[in-house]
């Protein structure tokens, strides 16, 4: 284990620095400082920052780092006395120059960076890998115009549809899927295999799984192997039935019954019952059955029979269990392999590639080419490499980068460097390929990558040094001290030294830099139900809800804002239940669901209305609309809500229209999809005030319409796409945040409440193990459970259990290091999970002690005590009914601040507005302004355009009730599909209106002539108008 020489990365003397940064230790601060050190090192080279490559884990992290780099430079250049900068002081000391000289360098770099911001090379690992793929397009036998698919789930869904369409030509695969469905139904699971197949398809893109699946035989061959293995199972089943029958014959021939045996119950259970049908049961006869004795009669004969059966079980027990697991898995694998084949065909047909496939392609190519050639192909050479969140980087990702880093450090004469930052204790993404062990080996110096031929005994090619950040700038002392003491004890459950070492006192221990000694609070409550109440999961959950609500009220009384409080949970299920409870008690909540368009109240109304047009008897949609009317106070006053909702479901659309005549206005025959959407929201009174979910739903609907989507396809498309679309909450909202532990990583909160336990169960975890029962199958994936553990080699099982424990401790570490002022934990005192037991053991509590309170509360800062904008109340199903305070993310055009818009966006937006009736156009324009599509100046310009439309003679028929208006209706002309903006049909004529933006072009006239020609076969008198807006 390497002992760090310094805790300051700027003072490190090695070429390659491994920065071991625990939670709250100022990792980003140190990283930005080191990047600027190298950016400002050359005296007259203001472009040096372009020779730096920084890789982060997410796009948000990349954007934040770029902004911080520029912000630090600009703030430093604005200082009248640069010597007062604490941030830049270590830099000028390391460079051995004056503050004034450093400021001059910073001014030049900042000015150049401002004008060339896009050349600041800070991005994600996927972005850099994509760049490498583009560089080696021809070498990888890809076409120049291939496209990246980010929506892997959608690709897998498309491939699954293709797979189903080919089942008619693959009877064996079809029959296998039928068997798979039957097996799922036998286990009380959904008959639909889609979810399982999609999950397997997505999982197959994991870099380890992908190679394993590719090594498997073809789907057809796997099904043949499955039949062969099933025959072997049947042989064992027959033999087991024979042994069971021999026991029965032994009893009968010797006139014995079970009362003549010791352990008679075990004989009855195993030899006479379970062994009679080993197809359904396992070979699990224990010591009692195998040591049973006969109290009278042919004692030796029974002992011989019993021992023979014991030998037979010892020979076949593991084999039978393995065969059962494998035959069941082969059906799934055959379907998965067939799905991957369809996915490959889809990629080739569409000329696309999922981003997850890049790493393998690059890895294979890098093995063929010398590193200098790769640099030459890239077109530039980086001098300094930075990798953030390294504990979440996969082996293949780092191996793709390392040749470039090695070349930079060993082949250049200048002082180049590499710095990686991570914390193995915060590695919680193993399921996504993250390997904490890779980082751990760099921290402790055991990784031989910096030595010739990766030989641990060989000389170093470049020096490597570990720097540990040992201070905590986030959290108050009591919480830091609690974590310093708790985690080394918790790590005693680990079995491998390398993992234990990560939680040793000198690794996990931090020195608090915030507040005074004794400040901060840690409160742990071991909850018990009232005396006499029987414990259950539901009862405990109710108890947790009440205590959580009470703690929130207590914190508010102490002056904290709701936005100071975060509730962290392990699963989304618990998050939803708790969010519903808090909302019902008037506590505003921000959760993952509350920001998803597809989960919103407004989205459900729109989808239900669309489904009713397709099927007027859709009972679920009728209930959705009736529920919406009840929530909005538009239901019948003389009926209870549940009665009204039942009547709607039973009475159908006719009843709904009788009690709510406004629903008759929702028509589709003469409307575009977008108009249909606005009519739905207007009918339910949702357009009268600002509402981000309405805006987001209409945006999504317009996107679907622009793709040429039809109403019949909307429900299926909406069900997938609406769940991907989020709205962003304003930062100053007063609402309790509820999120999963994984989502909270990298964030900090004034107070953290952990209401539910953090269990150590790793459900449905699959591992590939050696398979020796068939020559064509070397390895097979097995779901690890208590029953299947005996199938795993002892060494592999021990390593797996250690990794699972390490990952569990990491989850706890991430949770307990989020708070600034207060940590509040609720534990099931009657049935504690592993986390609860560890806490009780740590505090050495007796059975009657149910509460721990450490430290003293820290009052909020004055400006934080003021309650901020209140979030409107969520509906009872956990979704916010009105979220007027939310703003759409990433919707503003690039030139928004200039008061200008991209011509295509301007035209598209105006088209949307002009689809409305004249009475609704003003409201539609306001929604575009609120959503960020238009700046204030564009808003005024659009208003002027609408006013100019009022006097247009061509549009006057719209105001007449007898005019039939068709908006963006599809018109077929031979093989061509046309879509005029407006068709006005009156008693005397039909007028085609087409809106255009920009300059007049001959093609505009040609286009409207095509419209007229297409309609000429239906209407006699046709007029044409092109209106330039």
Distance CA 379, CA 359 (A): 20
pLDDT digits over 628-682, tens only? 888 888 778 777 877 888 888 888 888 888 888 877 767 665 567 888 888 888 8
Per-residue pLDDT at 992: 85
Residue 768's Cβ-count burial label (10 Å; 0-12, 13-18, 19+) is middle
pLDDT of residue 609: 87
Residue that wins the pLDDT comparison between 175 and 67 = 67
More confident residue, 16 or 154: 16
C-alpha–C-alpha distance, residues 907 and 915, integer Å: 12
Angle at 864 between CA 863 and CA 870, to 5 degrees: 115
User: Whole-number mean pLDDT of the chain?
Assistant: 84
In degrees, rounded to 5, the angle at the alpha carbon of residue 697 between the alpha carbons of residues 696 and 699 is 65
| 163 vs 32, residue with greater confidence | 32
Which secondary-structure segment (H or E) carries 783? Answer: strand 779-783
Highest-pLDDT range among 139-148, 570-579, 831-840: 831-840
User: Bridge-partner residues for 1024, per DSSP?
Assistant: 992
Q: From CA 532, how far away is CA 513, in angstroms rounded?
A: 48
| pLDDT-based confidence at residue 371 (cuts at 50, 70, 90) | low
How does residue 130 score in pLDDT terms, banded at 50, 70 and 90? Answer: confident
Reference 396, options 367, 375, 417; nearest CA is: 367
Q: Using alpha carbons, list the distances in angstroms from residue 890 to 698, 726, 931.
A: 16, 10, 10
Helix (H, G, I), strand (E, B) or coil at 18: strand
pLDDT value of residue 94: 94
pLDDT classification of 937: cutoffs 50, 70, 90? low
**In which order are the strands placed within the sheet that holds 589-591?**
589-591, 736-740, 565-569, 749-754, 819-828, 520-527, 851-856
217 CB neighbour count, 10 Å cutoff: 17
User: What residues contact 270, with CB distance under 8 A and at least 6 apart?
Assistant: 284, 285, 286, 289
Does residue 950 surpass a pLDDT of 50? Answer: yes
Question: Per residue in 774-783, is it b (16+ CB within 10 Å) or e — as a string?
Answer: beebeebbbe
pLDDT bracket for residue 266 (50, 70, 90) = very high
The whole-angstrom separation of Cα 139 and Cα 133 is 9
- The beta-carbon contacts of 3-9 under 8 Å, at least 24 apart in sequence, are 4/465, 4/466, 4/467, 4/468, 5/465, 5/467, 6/467, 7/467, 7/468, 7/469, 7/470, 7/471, 8/90, 8/467, 9/33, 9/34, 9/419, 9/467
Question: pLDDT-based confidence at 376, cuts 50/70/90?
Answer: low
Distance between CA atoms of residues 181 and 191, nearest Å: 5
User: Residue 868 and residue 564: Cα distance in Å, rounded?
Assistant: 11
Do 671 and 575 contact (CB within 8 A), yes or no?
A: no
Residues 842/542, Cβ–Cβ less than 8 Å: no
Nearest alpha carbon to residue 33 among 74, 88, 106, 113? 88
CB of 219 closer than 8 Å to CB of 775: no
The CA distances from residue 712 to 448, 606, 611, 618, 842, in Å, are 60, 14, 8, 14, 60
Sign of CA dihedral 595, 596, 597, 599: negative
Distance (Å, whole) CA 204 – CA 412? 40
Does residue 939 contact residue 922 with C-beta atoms inside 8 Å? no
- CA dist 819 and 879 (Å) reads 26
Q: What is the pLDDT of residue 912?
A: 62
Residues 377-387, mean pLDDT to the nearest whole number: 80
Q: What is the mean pLDDT of residues 333-343?
A: 85
Q: Which helix (H) or strand (E) holds 484?
A: helix 477-490
Report the pLDDT value the prediction gives residue 866, as an integer from 0 to 100. Answer: 44
- Best-predicted range by mean pLDDT among 74-78, 194-198, 218-222, 370-374? 74-78
Asked if pLDDT for residue 864 goes beyond 50, the answer is no
| 8 A C-beta contact, residue 524 and residue 828 | no
User: Which residues, at least 6 apart from 559, have a Cβ–Cβ distance to it below 8 Å?
Assistant: 859, 860, 865
Instruction: Name the strands in the sheet holding 464-469, side by side, starting at the edge strand that comes first in the sequence.
Output: 122-124, 52-56, 384-387, 417-422, 16-21, 464-469
On the question of pLDDT at 747 being above 70, the answer is yes
The predicted pLDDT at position 919 comes to: 61
- Look at residue 867 and tell me whether its pLDDT is greater than 70: no
Q: What is the pLDDT of residue 1012?
A: 82
Per residue in 583-634, pLDDT (tens digit) is 889 898 888 766 788 888 888 888 888 888 888 888 888 888 888 888 888 7
Beta strand 471-472 with 122-124 is unpaired
pLDDT-derived band at 810, boundaries 50, 70, 90: very high
pLDDT at residue 200 greater than cutoff 80: no
What pTM was computed for the model? 0.78
Residue 375 near residue 407 (C-beta atoms within 8 A) = yes
Q: Could you give the C-alpha distances from 404 to 4, 399, 450, 674, in angstroms and in order?
A: 26, 10, 13, 51
Beta-carbon contacts of residue 18 (< 8 Å; ≥ 6 apart): 419, 420, 439, 442, 443, 464, 465, 466, 467
Better-predicted residue by pLDDT, 423 or 375: 423
- Dihedral sign for Cα 233, 238, 244, 246, please: negative
Q: How far is CA 575 from CA 562, 776, 865, 967, in A?
A: 17, 46, 26, 43
Query: 171: Cβ–Cβ under 8 A, 6 or more apart, which residues?
Result: none
Q: What is the pLDDT of residues 461-513, one digit of tens each?
A: 999 999 999 999 999 999 999 999 999 999 999 999 999 999 999 899 999 99
* 206-223 pLDDT per residue, tens: 777 877 888 889 888 998
Rounded Cα gap, residues 768 and 987, in angstroms: 74
d(CA 120, CA 53): 8
Q: Which two tokens stand for residue 956?
A: 């006057």
Euclidean distance between CA atoms 922 and 327, whole angstroms: 64
* pLDDT at residue number 496: 94
3-state secondary structure (DSSP) of residue 738: strand
Is residue 204 within a helix (H) or strand (E), and if so which, with residue range? none
Distance (Å, whole) CA 841 – CA 67: 45
In sequence order, the 6+-apart residues with CB closer than 8 A to the CB of 124 are 55, 56, 57, 58, 59, 62
CA distance 925 to 913: 6
In this prediction, residue 652 carries a pLDDT of 84
pLDDT grade, residue 875 (50/70/90)?
very low
């Amino acid at each position: 284990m390497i002992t760090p020489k310094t805790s300051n990365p700027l003072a490190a003397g090695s070429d390659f620095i491994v920065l071991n940064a625990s939670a709250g230790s100022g990792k980003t601060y140190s990283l930005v400082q080191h990047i600027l050190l190298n950016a400002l090192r050359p005296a007259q080279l203001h472009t040096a920052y372009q020779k730096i490559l920084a890789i982060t884990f997410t796009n948000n992290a990349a954007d934040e780092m770029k902004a911080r780099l520029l912000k630090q430079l600009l703030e430093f250049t604005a200082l009248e006395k640069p010597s007062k900068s604490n941030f830049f002081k270590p830099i000028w000391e390391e460079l051995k120059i004056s503050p004034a000289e450093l400021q001059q360098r910073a001014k030049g770099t900042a000015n150049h960076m401002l004008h060339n911001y896009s050349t600041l090379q800070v991005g994600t690992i996927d972005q850099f890998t994509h760049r490498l793929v583009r560089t080696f397009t021809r070498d990888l036998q890809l076409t120049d115009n291939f496209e990246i698919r980010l929506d892997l789930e959608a690709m897998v869904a498309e491939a699954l549809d293709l797979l189903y369409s080919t089942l008619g030509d693959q009877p064996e695969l079809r029959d296998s899927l039928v068997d798979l469905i039957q097996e799922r139904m036998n286990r009380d699971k959904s008959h639909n295999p889609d979810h399982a197949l999609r999950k397997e398809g997505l999982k197959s893109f994991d870099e380890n799984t992908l190679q394993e699946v590719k090594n498997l035989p073809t789907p057809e061959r796997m099904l043949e192997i499955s039949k062969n293995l099933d025959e072997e199972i049947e042989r064992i089943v027959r033999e087991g039935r024979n042994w069971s029958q021999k026991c029965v014959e032994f009893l009968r021939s010797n006139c014995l019954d079970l009362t003549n045996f010791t352990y008679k119950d075990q004989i009855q259970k195993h030899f006479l019952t379970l062994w009679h049908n080993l197809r359904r049961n396992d070979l699990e006869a224990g010591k009692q059955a195998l040591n049973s004795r006969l109290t009278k009669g042919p004692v030796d004969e029974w002992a011989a029979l019993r021992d023979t059966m014991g030998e037979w079980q010892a020979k076949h027990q593991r084999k039978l269990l393995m065969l059962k697991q494998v035959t069941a898995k082969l059906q799934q694998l055959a379907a998965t392999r067939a799905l991957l084949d369809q996915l490959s065909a889809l990629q080739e047909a569409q000329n696309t590639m999922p981003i997850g496939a890049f790493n393998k392609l690059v890895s294979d190519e890098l093995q063929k080419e010398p590193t200098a050639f790769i640099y030459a192909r890239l077109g530039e050479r980086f001098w300094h490499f930075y990798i953030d969140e390294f504990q979440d980087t996969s082996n293949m990702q780092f191996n793709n980068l390392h040749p470039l880093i090695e070349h930079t450090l060993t082949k250049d004469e200048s002082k180049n460097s590499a710095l990686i930052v991570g914390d193995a204790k915060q590695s919680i993404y193993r399921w996504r390929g993250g390997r904490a062990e890779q980082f751990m080996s760099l921290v402790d110096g055991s990784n031989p990558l910096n030595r010739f031929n990766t030989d641990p005994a060989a000389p170093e090619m470049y020096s490597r040094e570990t720097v540990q950040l040992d201070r905590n700038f986030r959290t108050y002392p009591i919480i830091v001290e609690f974590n310093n003491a708790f985690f080394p004890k918790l790590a005693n459950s680990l079995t491998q030294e390398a993992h234990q070492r990560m939680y040793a006192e000198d690794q996990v221990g931090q020195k608090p830099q915030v507040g005074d000694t004794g400040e901060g609070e840690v409160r742990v409550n071991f909850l018990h139900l009232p005396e006499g109440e029987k414990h259950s999961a539901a009862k405990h959950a109710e108890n947790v809800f009440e205590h959580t609500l009470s703690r929130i009220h207590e914190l508010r009384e102490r002056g904290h804002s709701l936005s100071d409080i975060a509730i962290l949970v392990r699963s989304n299920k618990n998050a939803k239940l708790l969010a519903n409870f808090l909302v019902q008690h008037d506590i505003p909540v921000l959760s993952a669901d509350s920001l998803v368009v597809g989960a919103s109240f407004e989205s459900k109304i729109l989808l239900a209305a669309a489904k009713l047009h397709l099927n007027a008897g859709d009972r679920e949609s009728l209930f959705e609309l009736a529920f919406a009317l009840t929530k909005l106070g538009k239901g019948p006053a003389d009926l209870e809500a549940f009665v009204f909702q039942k009547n709607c479901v039973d009475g159908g659309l006719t009843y709904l229209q009788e009690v709510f005549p406004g629903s008759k206005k929702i028509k589709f025959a003469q409307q575009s999809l977008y108009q249909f959407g606005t009519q739905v929201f207007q009918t339910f009174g949702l357009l009268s005030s600002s509402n981000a979910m309405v805006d987001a739903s209409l945006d999504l609907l317009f996107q679907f319409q622009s793709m040429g989507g039809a109403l019949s396809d909307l429900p299926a498309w909406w069900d997938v796409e609406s769940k991907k679309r989020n709205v962003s909450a304003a930062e100053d909202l007063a609402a309790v945040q509820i999120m999963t532990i994984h989502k909270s990583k990298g964030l900090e909160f004034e107070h953290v409440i952990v209401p539910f336990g953090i269990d150590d169960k790793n459900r449905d975890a699959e591992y590939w193990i050696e398979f020796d029962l068939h020559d064509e199958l070397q390895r097979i994936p097995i779901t690890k459970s208590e029953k299947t553990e005996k199938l795993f080699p002892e060494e592999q099982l021990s390593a797996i259990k250690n990794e699972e424990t390490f990952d569990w401790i990491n989850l706890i570490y991430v949770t307990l290091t989020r708070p600034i002022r207060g940590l509040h934990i609720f534990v099931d005192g009657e049935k504690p999970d592993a986390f609860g037991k560890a806490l009780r053991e740590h505090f050495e509590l007796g059975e009657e002690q149910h509460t721990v309170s450490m430290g003293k509360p820290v009052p909020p800062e004055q400006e934080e005590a003021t309650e901020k904008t209140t979030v409107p109340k969520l509906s009872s199903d956990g979704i916010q009914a009105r979220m007027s305070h939310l703003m759409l993310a990433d919707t503003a055009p690039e030139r928004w601040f200039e008061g200008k818009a991209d011509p295509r966006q301007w035209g598209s937006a105006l088209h949307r507005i002009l689809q409305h009736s004249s009475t609704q156009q003003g409201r539609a324009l306001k929604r575009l302004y609120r959503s960020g599509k238009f700046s204030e100046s564009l808003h005024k310009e659009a208003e002027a355009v609408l006013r100019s439309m009022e006097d247009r003679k061509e549009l006057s028929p719209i105001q007449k009730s007898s005019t039939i208006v068709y908006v963006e209706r599809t018109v077929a002309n031979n093989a061509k599909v046309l879509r005029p903006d407006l068709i006005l049909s009156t008693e005397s004529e039909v007028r085609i209106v087409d809106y255009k933006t920009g300059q007049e072009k001959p093609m505009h006239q040609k286009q409207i002539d095509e419209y007229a020609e297409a309609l000429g076969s239906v209407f006699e008198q046709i007029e044409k108008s092109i209106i330039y807006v």
